[in-house]
Structure 1
């Protein structure tokens, strides 16, 4: 998470506008997905995970499982957005004299930063899915065989009917 935040900080602070005739094209750099995803989801999920490791209650394990599922979804969105940002990061220069052509070039450093953020998001997604699976196993399958289940339904009673073989 810290590495993803550092990558996006560097990527968002790259300045390519040395003069007025450069047009900078990086559509997703302003969303800073690793920043808000890291602070709002990955960090919160990690804190809840540390709480679960310290004291396991069913409620805290379920909270960790829920946040892990949400974090994996957000990480998947981060991967998709960062891949698109890596593909469409370029700058264009407009000619000052006729024919006023526009030449565009990819920004290699920014593409590397977005690719690295996509890779980190993929790793985060895998970690979140694995932790959610472990929590699900602990909550759903971790019950001992001696535990009793109570139900509020009335049990059905079958009463056998004895038929006599004698005729009246």
Structure 2
């Protein structure tokens, strides 16, 4: 955590930073019941970046994240607070298994994940393909790093976007 970071967002007590980028900061948050989640806080600049961006972000934030695999994914929730917009994800992944296909949908865009047992030559633990409605994103890769699942999406003209999911290991 850095000077100026909020101690809490909504019901989540923030205990660390998982990542940051142009949209804002992703924190590790703990709910009152002890559940940990990645809490995305949008920067004021991003949240006020125009009606089209705001509508797109709101639609994405309101969409549940559901995985069609034995590995569990759960949308925690969203709320607007004085310091931005909060989004939380809780994702459970078991390592050491066979290749697994994971699919998540946010109403507009579908990502299909393939999890490998070991890192491949490019340093990714798996690849993902994006379906229709994903905007400029054409695919991506992901890796497990220090208790996080990091998803990197890429598209045309160097359009990259990262998503961080905190891993809850059984």
**TM-score, normalization by structure 1:** 0.24
Specify which structure has the higher proportion of helix.
1
Q: Choose between structure 1 and 2 for higher RCO, CA contacts under 8 A separated by at least 6 residues.
A: 1
Specify which structure has the higher proportion of strand.
2
**TM-score, normalization by structure 2:** 0.24
